[in-house]
Amino acid sequence: MDNRSAGLQETGSAAYVLDEQVGFILRQVQQRHATIFVSHFASDLTPTQWAVIAKLAEIGEVSQNLLGRHTAMDVATIKGVVERLVKRGLVRTQPDPVDRRRLSISLSPAGRDCFDASVANARTVTEETLQPLDAQERQLLLGLLEKIR
C-alpha cells in the first residue's frame, strides 16, 4: 500500500488529505445510509428509535441502562429516545422488580406491531446501503467493520 492510499500522501512534508481519512469516509457512508433510511421510514421513526425497537424485539425486556449500551447510546440519548417512544405508545417502562431505582423497558403491543410492519423496510435499507457491493465484498466489509468496532 502506498502512502497516498493510507491517507499519508507526501509532498515535501506530510500532507493530510481529508477525502482519504477513515472517519471522513465513514461519515459520508453514514450520511448516505441515513438518506436511504429516511426514504423508507419517512418521518415514522428515527434511526435511533428504530434501533431501540429492533433491539427490544431481539432481546426482550431490559433495563434502560443496558438498552443504551446495546444500542450504543449514552445515558441522555437513550433516556430521550425512550421517552419519545413511550409518548407514542411503542414502548413501556416500569420499575425493575429487583432494583426499583432502575427502569425496565419493553415493547408495547403497538411497538411489536411497529417492528413487524417495519422490519422489511429495515432489511431494504441495509440492502440498498450495500447495493454497490457484491456478496463477497459485503461479507468482507461487515467483517472488517466488526473488527474495528
Give the residue among 127, 138, 135, 142 at the shortest CA–CA distance from 39: 127
Tens of pLDDT along 78-125? 999 999 999 999 999 999 888 888 889 999 999 999 999 999 999 999
Report the chain's mean pLDDT, rounded to a whole number.
Answer: 91
pLDDT tens per residue, range 62-81: 999 999 999 999 999 999 99
Confidence category of residue 29, pLDDT binned at 50, 70, 90: very high
Q: How confident is the model at residue 36 (pLDDT cuts 50, 70, 90)?
A: very high
Question: Measured between alpha carbons, how far is 107 from 88 in angstroms, rounded to an integer?
Answer: 11
User: How much is the pLDDT for 96?
Assistant: 82
Over residues 20-40, the mean pLDDT reads 96
Write out the DSSP string of 50-101.
HHHHHHHHHH-SEEHHHHHHHTT--HHHHHHHHHHHHHTTSEEEEE-SS-TT
Structure-model confidence comparison of residues 3 and 51, the more confident one? 51
What pTM does this model have?
0.84
Look at domain 4-148 and name its CATH class: mainly alpha
pLDDT at 42: 79
Domain ranges of the chain: 4-148
Within a 10 A sphere around the Cβ of 81, how many other Cβ atoms? 23
Q: At what angle do helices 47-59 and 22-41 cross, to 10 degrees?
A: 80
